[in-house]
Amino acid sequence: MEINGEADLKSPLLQCPNDVVITVSPPNQNLNKKIRTLVFKVLGITCSSCVASIEAALGRLDGVQSVMVSVLQGQAVVKYVPEVITAKMIKETVEDTGFEVAEFPEQDIALCRLRIKGMACTSCSESVERALLMVDGVKKAVVGLALGEAKIHFDPNVTNTDCIIKAVEEDAGFGAELISSGNGLNKVYLKLDGKTSPDDLTVIESSLRSLEGVNHVEIDVQEHIATISYEPDIIGPRSLIQCIQEAGSGPSTYQAILYTPPRGGETERHQEIIVYRNQFMWSCLFSVPIFVFSMVLPMLPPYGNWLRHKVINMLDIGMLLRWILCTPVQFVIGKRFYAGSYHALRRKSANMDVLVALGTNAAYFYSIYIMIKALTSESFEGQDFFETSSMLISFILLGKYLEVLAKGKTSNALAKLTELAPDTACLLTLDAEGNVISETEIDTQLIQKNDILKIVPGAKVPVDGLVIDGQSHVNESMITGEAMPVAKRPGDKVIGGTVNENGYIRIKATHVGSETALSQIVELVEAAQLAKAPVQKLADQISKFFVPTVVLAALLTWLGWFIPGQAGLYPRTWIPTAMDAFEFALQFGISVLVVACPCALGLATPTAVMVATGKGASLGVLIKGGNALENAHKVKTVVFDKTGTLTVGKPTVVSSVLFSEVSMADFCNMTIAAEANSEHPVAKAVVEHAKMLLQKHGSKNDHFTEVKEFEVHPGAGVSGKIGERAVLVGNKRLMHLFNVPLGSEVHRYVLENEHLARTCVLVAIEGTAAGAFAVTDPVKPEADRVISYLHSMNISTVMVTGDNWATAYAIAKQVGIQKVFAETDPLGKADKIKELQLQGTNVAMVGDGINDSPALVAADVGMAIGAGTDVAIEAADVVLMKSNLEDVVTALDLSRKTMSRIRINYVWALGYNVLGMPIAAGILFPFTGIRLPPWLAGACMAASSISVVCSSLLLQNYKKPLRANTA
């Protein structure tokens, strides 16, 4: 692991010296064709010659754009034109070369995200999910209630985004809007100026489509905005603008400027807030007078006497005014509840809108009945409920308004991350000698790969890049949470969004657009916020039968008061003046309908997950959704890898020795040749030390013999032939595997160093132990403190390593770990995890995310620590963005706090229902005279949703436990 390993967070997926990229340009290639990317595993790859044979076979196929095969991950990435060649043909070609293909996607899967409008409760999100899954071609759909978004995986050969949106709107009855489509393609939006007739737009579109690297072009004819998806390795936004300018000829001149579309989520949320605010204000405009006319003025004689003045028969002015004012609230402002109810009932489900519509309609139409009876009778006296209907709608709208305000704050941490990147950057133009010709300030979105950028002290780094000149210290705390500035010199990586502290540096852009670490962190957190936690299933199950149960309870409540009232089973004095038993019972029934609405239940889990994942990201801990959060709080055992996890991960050789007559130069040459192909940190340290020894002994050999029959023995070492001599480089297990005798001198040297927590790398030439290297890797300073804190959390710790027993025990003793599994290969680590799980304990695995990927996948919670490569992100449930073990504690503690908060949220959500329903049903009335009017029941229902969201927002105050203890 490099010192500046944090910047490796989003290095390319297949990054290995043995990886080869072949760019194929087949004849008559149609550049307008759509390019797709295929990723699959290839089993049996052992060396670079395997890679070459696969890439050569695929490179000969028409329609294949590029091929990349990795030795390290055994993975292939193929970009191809689906109209020229099929994925099946690619698979068959690889199998014809003699390799087995695994994890091959059976069909093309596309991805799109939709914004869903109008969801109010869990039942709504469930209905949208059902409607989406019923669409032919949709393979997976996840709907997030708190985010108001849906993520859909579908087969583009069967359906498209238009059909998916239509299903949401027509089958589920909710508004839908496309946020994004495609698997993270780089996009740029350009505003077209100059001549923009339909013919001109066609010329511009054709010119753009003809460019190599352009995947898709879409031009909005009305707004004159071009949306272009492109391959950043081939082309960039400045080249696209130049193409548009050059497309014009003669009198036609075209211009294009960068266009930044409004952030969909923020715009939509702001719009939603305005809509609810306006609806609430309009509702209040009518409801407040109704409340005054029905509740206040009648109690203040003689000011309210005029309301009792009869208009026709028993119809008085007060009742007429209440009807006039209530009707627009019921049918204009409250039409959203009718629409929601209609769509819910049409899909044979029930949601909050059904309860509200039932309650308000019962009150309104009963009041209409009272009004008609008063209009036609000369002696009838009755009480209308117009204030119940209007105030109920007003309180619900107030609750939704406050709820969307609070929900907007749940993604504050994510919004702060997206704002880290600067708006502009200084682009340098260099001559052949590297001298600066010009400096230009450009928009950050116009940066292309391999651009040279100038970063002055105090400026933010615009994109991920490589330092090529100068030196400085960069504050990476905004990304990693680590306050200490990191030294940067030529060759070091920098992350977009970090701050250059005190020196002038030049960088070369290596990752732009959606490939930057910042963009992919945001994407990961957004995906986590959309994912459902298993505990959410409880709310989903409850919501399925909750509404019908509430309707039944309301009906029973009404009957329970109406029938005894008619039969005279309770005193007539209980019924308020001017009411009869029917009206009296109706108020109880409506109150039950409204107070029991399960809106807050659906918000209990997703809002907490949103806040927790956003807060975790701001602390440098990326949690992949509610599932990882829930599993992490159950962890009782944490398994640590040794190298790069408990230790610094920068092994150094502290001594070397010869055991035979072989010369030091020969010994070093053989070792370097054998270990040159190994990516293990210990191997790199040995090679570096062997080269130093060669220089010390006067040898300046820069060309080393290539090893033949090279083979990796996981957890043991490597073997091969150099010239005619067989060479083994590895640990004692490798020597025993090949029956190499180890004399007393070798055993003594190994034993002495293992007791000092050093790893011994033995070298055998032609079946004889020739020498050895002693390698040390210092323990991280915080390791013992982290282990101690985990023990205080009642979490046991285990070390699993491929190193020898003596070294493993020495390191374990140093940090306080009691249980050790040593000399274990990568698959053996996964087996140890499974053994621990069989003992009934939930296991978290902490590793570097590459060699430990099988164990990370096998564990209940996989934590990739350090330079979080794409491999780590794929394998792990939690990605720790910096090489600090304290974040293991942070991840586990944050999960516990979040699950505790979710339980509290359920108490808030169900508490109002459990306590409110009996009170609303009138259980206290016979003893205390206390009852819950329907409008007050509506206020309680709104309060439950607001309480849940505010409860989740308290997670924003979370502090890292270890940092707090050591501050």
Mean pLDDT of 491-511: 85
- Model confidence at 967, pLDDT cuts 50, 70, 90, reads very low
Secondary structure (H, E, C), 34-63: CCEEEEEEEECCCCHHHHHHHHHHHHCCCC
Cα 5 versus chain centre, distance: 22
Mean pLDDT is lowest, of 444-448, 548-552, 942-946, for 942-946
Statement: residue 631 has pLDDT above 80: yes
Instruction: Check whether 640 has a pLDDT greater than 60.
Output: yes
Give the tens place of pLDDT for each residue, 84-135: 887 778 888 888 888 888 767 655 677 888 888 877 666 777 788 888 988 8
Structure tokens at 351: 């949601």
Share of the chain above pLDDT 90, in %: 6
Q: In the prediction, which pLDDT does 851 show? A: 62
| DSSP-assigned beta bridge partners for residue 880 | 621, 865
For the cut 70, the answer to whether the pLDDT of residue 808 exceeds it is yes
For the residues 950-955, what does the mean pLDDT come to? 85
pLDDT of residue 854: 76
| Average model confidence (pLDDT) across the chain | 78
Q: Are 618 and 416 in contact (CB under 8 A)?
A: yes
The top-scoring range by mean pLDDT among 24-28, 264-268, 433-437, 842-846 is: 842-846
Q: How far is CA 827 from CA 166, 215, 800, 823, 853, in A?
A: 47, 40, 11, 12, 9
Question: Helices in 697-738 by DSSP H: which ranges?
Answer: 732-737
pTM of structure: 0.62
The pLDDT tens digits for 814-858 are: 889 989 988 787 778 888 888 888 888 899 998 875 567 778 878
**Tokens describing residue 400:** 């939704």
pLDDT at 868: 44
Q: Tell me the mean pLDDT in the region 2-26.
A: 37
Which segments of 19-122 are extended strands (E)?
20-23, 36-43, 64-70, 75-80, 100-102, 110-117
pLDDT value at 966 more than 50: no
Note the pLDDT of residue 6: 37
Q: Tell me the pairing of strands 505-511 and 843-847.
A: unpaired
What the block records as the tokens of 862 is 């996989």
C-alpha dist (Å) from residue 56 to 51, 98, 423, 523: 8, 13, 43, 35
pLDDT at position 699 = 66
Q: Based on the number of CB atoms within 10 Å of its own CB, is 288 exposed (0-12), middle (13-18) or buried (19 or more)?
A: middle
Q: How far apart are CA 919 and CA 449, in angstroms?
A: 66
Cα separation, 825 vs 831, in Å, equals 10
Which span out of 51-65, 231-245, 334-348, 758-772 was modeled with the highest average pLDDT? 758-772
Least confident stretch, 103-117, 492-506, 532-546, 808-822: 532-546
pLDDT at 579: 65
Which three-class secondary structure state does DSSP give residue 461?
A: coil
CA 493/CA 487 separation, integer angstroms: 10
pLDDT at 762: 92
pLDDT average, residue stretch 375-379: 79
Non-local CB neighbours of 50 within 8 Å, separated by 6+ positions: 44, 71, 99
CA dist., res. 569 & res. 587, Å (int): 18
Distance CA 326, CA 838 (A): 64
**pLDDT at position 892 over 90:** yes
- Per DSSP, 422 falls in state -
C-alpha span between 530 and 614 (Å, rounded): 12
Write down the pLDDT at residue 29. 41
- 342-348 average pLDDT score: 76
Which two structure tokens, joined as six digits, stand for 260?
A: 């930044």
In the chain, what percentage of residues exceed pLDDT 70? 81
CA angle in degrees (0–180, nearest 5) for 155-156-162: 115
